[in-house]
Structure 1
Amino acid sequence: MRSENQLSENRPSENQRSEKWQTPAAAVALAALNLCICWRLFQAGYTDHFSSIEGSFIAIARYISRHWGDFSWWPLWHCGMPYQDTYVPLLHIVVAIAASLGHISAARAYHGVIGLTYALGPLALYFMAVRLGATRGAAFLSALFYSLFSPSALLMPDVARDIGGLWYARRLQVLTVYGEGPHISAMTLLPVAILALENALASRTVRRLALAALSIALVSLTNVPGTMALGLAVFCWICAQPGDRRRAAWVVAGSASALAYCLACYGVPPSSVRTIVGNVGPMHTGFSNSLRNGPILLPLVLISVAVAGYLLGRTRLPLFVRFAILFFGLIAGLALTAHIETFELLPQAGRLHLEMEMGACLLLGSIGWALYVLIPRWVRPVVLALLLAPLGIQFDHYRSRAETDIRNADLSKRSEYTTARWLDSHMRGRRVYVAGSTSFWLNAFTDTPQMAGCCDQGQSMPVLNYLPAFINSAVSLQNTELARTWLQALGVQALVVNGDASTDEYKDFRDPQRFERFFAPLHRENGDTIYSVLPEGASLAHVLRPGEQVPLRTSHQVNTADVARYVAVIGSNSRPTATFEWLRGSAARVRTSLDRDDLVSVQVAWFPGWKAFVRGRRKPVFPDGLGFLVIRPECEGNCEIELFWTGRPDLPFAAVVSLAALVFTALLALRHIGIPVLLSLRSFAWTRRFLGGPPGPPPVP
């Protein structure tokens, strides 16, 4: 039998029992605090921030929730586009699932999901700090700073003015006023990814590596700026490692990142990545300027961070402090020097000031805790009591700001809503051109397709890069008439113009009265005028003779004379009519009467992956100079053409890669695998020599 002394030695000490409850208590406290701040989001429908981009995010979730299994083609924006090009998909699919399962509006589901991700952000930061070696007290204090203070207001006067002072919530304001739901959600996942990488590095097992890859994939499927910030955070995490672990950290991070992209490949296939990268230059002039005038600056900054990491590694500072210094320094350098029109080292680097707050709060928490432990124990309760007052004041500031920023809108007074409802009732799925906040919010209320729409980083029709600005600002009568020609060429049935009395937040149209001379008004309400552009019943399909399509040219600029000829042809009464009908989201039908050599122009954006069939036989499909479909039916007399969107050519490959990666990741995450090869992978034998870790267990037969 064990002696009484032996039993007492095995019992947990008072300190051990206390520490056991510290982490759950801290987690509950942080979650409760942030839920109390943002609780109004869980009751919000359409909030009164129509200048926000969140209308487009709600629109994505709304469409998905109404078209499960049939949203691979996105007909609502940019004359149609692949769904993968709209936006990275994770948040919107989660919102659509919540809306469908909860039988609630997409707006209500969206605000519930982003409210949850906002509240969990400090919690994720706390767990990351603990895993990087912070004491629970320092980690909790860092997360508390992150919950109740915005360091960017202290460092950036423009931010302080925007939020109303030093003591208000920038992260909450960006979420609610500017609609940065995907970005804030990615920020919540970022610390989880760093935590998972640290676990993988410490354990040297492929199970932990698989979890790290999964966490990185989740960030990359949520938001592009968040993914960019994660890449910088991973670089800082590697540089912060001790010298004897730095090489292993590179291997772990590289392996996890490669597997992460394989997991995310179907959501962000190579073709979509190419589109996004191709649009970086036109969208981000400041970044283009930095590449042209100072291409070596960003590498120099990264080298400086690596050198700083090496020097910090020779100190006694804990890992989480070294990481905080590097991350804060790098992000601050990028965000504080960013000027979107003139200079920025990374695209939209100014948006990373939110991630900068993470590093700043980690530093503040570590400094605050270091000072706290210097205080005699008997004085600490007094100090904590004195701190309750400023904490309460800050909590009140954040709650009051949330009350101001999270208010349901009176939709009946918003032109964005009343215009959308009229279009929904009268356009019956025909294309319209809208601008400003009306464009942001149109598809949150209706499935009426737009000529332009959201998210320019994913659009592939070069003409749409400059045409909206021309239509909005072409104030001369000659240019307004030319704008009408362009709208007709792009299959626009109606034009919505925001007048002075409109509630549109941007009112992009200069001299809106000029349209009265060239367009017949259909409806006026809440300051908006809806004009007819094409005759009632106009089709998106048109019969052409060979050579009448807008020709392809080497430059992206389309010749206006070519456009005028095309409009004259498709508007001619001498041509047989061609009807166009959507059968479902990814299939359409054209019916017309043709001569043998006739072509059919369809005013839907061309992408590789559109296939046309006549009587079961596949027919050639190619783009014209505008970027629309042109079909060579090769039939005579009455002809029915079936169009199918089958996805870009790389999509099947991306699907196979993602599925294989998902299965592989799941197998790696299991404890017991009866396949010797996977067991040898699980022991990290394939990188054991390079990583320098301890030998793994022998394979089980």
Structure 2
Amino acid sequence: MKRIQAPVTTPLLAAVIFALNIYVCWGLFGIEYLRHMGSIEGSFIGLARYAGQHWGDLRWFPLWHLGMPYANVYPPLLSWEVAGFARLSGFSIAHAFHWVTAITYCLGPVAVFALTLRLTKSPRTAFAAGAIDSFVSWSAWLIPAVRIDLGSPLDPRRLQALVFYGEGPHVASMTVLPLALLCWDFAMKRRSPPAIALAAIATAATVLTSWLGGFALAMMIAAYALARLPALRDLWVMAAIAVSAYFLAMPFVTPSIIAATQLNSKTLGGDFTASYLTLPKWAVCVAIGLVGLKFAIRKLDSVVQFAIAFAFLLAAIVFPFAWFNISAVPQPIRYHLELEMALSLLAAIGGNALLRNRPRAATIALAALCVALIVPVKASRRYARNDLIRPIDIQSTTEWKTAQWVNREWSGERIMMPGSTGFWLTAFSDVPLLNGGPEQGVIDQMARVADYIIFFGPPRSGDVSALWLKALGVQAVGVSLPGSGEFYKPFVDPHQFDALLQPIIRTSTDVIFRVGAPHTSLARVVPAAALVSRTPKHGLDVDPLRAYVAALDDPSMPRAALRWNNLHSAHITADLGAGQVISVQQAWHPGWHADSGGTMLPVRRDQIGQMYLDPGRTGQIDIDLVFDGDTEMKFARAASIGCALILAAASLGSLFAAKKPGR
């Protein structure tokens, strides 16, 4: 192999790419709140605030979708980074979020530079790859819908995804993604425990930043393997990396979390229920295509083969959906950002292969590229400064005002808020929501069913919505009217509650209605016969809820009190009569355990996914309810710690052995 030339020039080229990206997104480093209140970043800022304020209590997450294990909520790495940086810097969580995501945005093309340099040993090619990745929005040229959304193909799609849509974790994972493959290549060459450990850590970091990044990394590794056709000893190294990475990340990627994500992703961002039916056919077609592609390019350099195969795999996901509305995986259009990276690698690596033996032509081509990129660099800077990175006075927004009212006037019970107000509430408050942020890890599907029918159900179906709200323990519901500052205004019928529920606060543009009796606990005493005994088939199928809601509304039923000790345990006190049980309006999970005076009680699940307790006796009952995880979660934590210790011991042993005299 040729040695990398110009050791001083190489870091300077990387610094130029980094500086140009800073030049484009400079305003993001100093901003606290952006004007794009419809962005999902409000939820990610909320997760970072939650992690920072509850660092020692990240077991159960009670704030969204009836509650779920914290590990289900979202890959946590970016939230932890933001929370840690906020604590170290003294910045607000929102400012820290934008600072961290701005850094990851700027480092993304530098990571592409590093990977290309590793594979080609050519600083010139690495610079071309990083520069193209920074300023060429391939998807705007190739996908009409993206071009329309972006406005100009000269504007940076990746920055739009980060700032306008709030895709912080996705963009951050694209920074780790090329570094992970770089570490894989390093491990394949060295075959040493430290190198394997490094590759495993980088792989786990990619997955723990974003599911999208983890899937794209699998495509990247598949392309790498196809290009190299690894020998048996290489396969052992690859297996060691993959298994180690999975065990390291396992507390957040357990089989049950994967299953929940697969289930929920079928209906996120569209109807992708047919995707898994299409997947086998797609996989066969792609496999045949890869075999033919490998045969066609078998004489090319392995690095060129990798770039072609990586672009092919991502194109096979994105273009069928973008052009023909055929999806083999859920939300395939979101991988167009990774496709842009793949095409940038292909353009630079392919150009290097064509001009490898023509240094003069290569120099001219690089100079021409630099000149050609002047226009998109200036366009990107203008777009970022004038359109994207614009601040807002957060205290003037409906989202902030609603959150402050909730913190000041509300008593802490579960509520439901519309659209962007729901996205942003957790950024300012610990009040639980029926809806909230990302839904990929939801464990009680009735939360999603109710959310959909309440917002998008037919007009004049407020009675149906009220049944769902009461059945799922919601004590107040916010409605944004046509003139509201709330971004989405999701209610098909914003007046469905006018004749049914009592308003707590009303303005000309927003209303918050009370649902049920005030100050009601999530623990309710009901007759056992009133528990929901059949799962509703859809949101309008509310007959199974009627007896249960009637029991909740019955003032003669004994009261139960639920007091949270922390975010994962509560104390329940109730006075039970004959035939009565305690319904707990929190999502059931096998990790919940109940103790009454030293006697363990079974925590059962009703047909809408909530918990109930049947102590089997009457009178005053005291119960301690604790979420400490099920067998799967405990195994995952032990496996992660054990794997980390094994990798550390093997790496240290290898390093000490290498330092022994005579070696």
Structure 1, residues 165-193: CA drift from partner, whole Å, max 9, x if none? 12110111111111111111111111111
Aligned: 1:544 with 2:530: no
Deviates more, 1:557-566 or 1:75-84: 557-566
Following superposition of structure 1 onto structure 2, how do residues 61-460 of structure 1 map, counting pairs within 5 Å?
Answer: 61-241=48-228, 243=229, 245=230, 247-283=232-268, 287-292=272-277, 295-313=280-298, 315=299, 317-338=300-321, 343-369=326-352, 377=360, 389-403=371-385, 404-460=387-443
> For residues 671 and 250 of structure 1, what CA distance do their matches in structure 2 show?
23
Deviates more, 1:48-57 or 1:275-284: 275-284
**TM-fit CA distance, 1:300:** 2.2
Q: Against the structure 1 CA distance between its residues 248 and 348, is the aligned structure 2 distance closer, same or farther, given a 3 Å change threshold?
A: farther
**TM-fit CA distance, 1:368:** 4.7
**TM-fit CA distance, 1:382:** 8.1
Match of 2:31 in 1: 44
> For residues 308 and 538 of structure 2, what CA distance do their matches in structure 1 show?
45
Counterpart code for 2:92: S
**TM-fit CA distance, 1:540:** 1.4
Counterpart code for 1:417: W
Q: Is the 8 A contact 1:89 1:222 kept in 2?
A: yes
Q: Against the structure 1 CA distance between its residues 288 and 539, is the aligned structure 2 distance closer, same or farther, given a 3 Å change threshold?
A: closer
Match of 1:694 in 2: none
**TM-fit CA distance, 1:668:** 2.8
Structure 1, residues 601-621: CA drift from partner, whole Å, max 9, x if none? 111111111112222322221
Over aligned residues, Cα RMSD in angstroms?
2.8
**TM-fit CA distance, 1:514:** 3.0
> For residues 389 and 87 of structure 2, what CA distance do their matches in structure 1 show?
23
> For residues 204 and 389 of structure 1, what CA distance do their matches in structure 2 show?
42
Higher radius of gyration, 1 or 2: 1
TM-score normalised by the chain length of structure 2: 0.93
**TM-fit CA distance, 1:508:** 0.9
Q: Is the 8 A contact 2:411 2:519 kept in 1?
A: no
Q: Against the structure 1 CA distance between its residues 16 and 484, is the aligned structure 2 distance closer, same or farther, given a 3 Å change threshold?
A: closer
Counterpart code for 2:414: R
Q: Is the 8 A contact 1:59 1:444 kept in 2?
A: yes
Q: Is the 8 A contact 2:453 2:539 kept in 1?
A: no
Deviates more, 1:645-654 or 1:611-620: 611-620
> For residues 479 and 140 of structure 2, what CA distance do their matches in structure 1 show?
37
Structure 1, residues 628-649: CA drift from partner, whole Å, max 9, x if none? 1111234543332221111233
SS of the residue 1:167 aligns to: coil
Counterpart code for 2:531: Q
Counterpart code for 2:286: V
**TM-fit CA distance, 1:583:** 1.6
SS of the residue 2:586 aligns to: strand
Stretches of structure 1 that go unaligned for 5 or more consecutive residues are 1-14, 683-696
> For residues 275 and 454 of structure 1, what CA distance do their matches in structure 2 show?
16
Q: Is the 8 A contact 2:278 2:327 kept in 1?
A: no
SS of the residue 2:467 aligns to: helix
> For residues 547 and 483 of structure 1, what CA distance do their matches in structure 2 show?
23
* Percent identical: 34
Q: Is the 8 A contact 1:275 1:460 kept in 2?
A: yes
> For residues 376 and 60 of structure 1, what CA distance do their matches in structure 2 show?
51
Match of 2:15 in 1: 28
Q: Is the 8 A contact 1:287 1:343 kept in 2?
A: no
Structure 1, residues 493-538: CA drift from partner, whole Å, max 9, x if none? 1111010111222211023123211111111347221111122212
> For residues 603 and 459 of structure 1, what CA distance do their matches in structure 2 show?
15
SS of the residue 1:522 aligns to: strand
Q: Is the 8 A contact 2:111 2:176 kept in 1?
A: yes
**TM-fit CA distance, 1:385:** 6.8
SS of the residue 1:650 aligns to: helix
Deviates more, 1:197-206 or 1:276-285: 276-285
Counterpart code for 1:363: L
Match of 1:472 in 2: 455
Q: Against the structure 1 CA distance between its residues 595 and 386, is the aligned structure 2 distance closer, same or farther, given a 3 Å change threshold?
A: closer
Q: Is the 8 A contact 2:114 2:126 kept in 1?
A: yes
**TM-fit CA distance, 1:349:** 1.6
Q: Is the 8 A contact 1:238 1:250 kept in 2?
A: no
SS of the residue 2:184 aligns to: helix
Structure 1, residues 543-576: CA drift from partner, whole Å, max 9, x if none? 1233221125596889623311111112212122
**TM-fit CA distance, 1:146:** 0.9
Q: Is the 8 A contact 1:132 1:319 kept in 2?
A: no
Counterpart code for 1:621: V
Q: Is the 8 A contact 1:415 1:527 kept in 2?
A: no
Counterpart code for 1:467: A
Q: Is the 8 A contact 2:76 2:209 kept in 1?
A: yes
**TM-fit CA distance, 1:673:** 6.3
Q: Is the 8 A contact 1:440 1:454 kept in 2?
A: yes
> For residues 84 and 153 of structure 2, what CA distance do their matches in structure 1 show?
38
Report the count of equivalent residues: 661
Counterpart code for 2:444: M
TM-score normalised by the chain length of structure 1: 0.88
**TM-fit CA distance, 1:287:** 4.5
Match of 2:620 in 1: 638
**TM-fit CA distance, 1:144:** 0.9
Stretches of structure 2 that go unaligned for 5 or more consecutive residues are none
> For residues 170 and 355 of structure 1, what CA distance do their matches in structure 2 show?
11
> For residues 536 and 700 of structure 1, what CA distance do their matches in structure 2 show?
78
Task: Please point out which of 508, 521, 534 is paired with 2:516.
Answer: 534
> For residues 458 and 294 of structure 2, what CA distance do their matches in structure 1 show?
56
**TM-fit CA distance, 1:581:** 1.7
> For residues 140 and 526 of structure 1, what CA distance do their matches in structure 2 show?
56
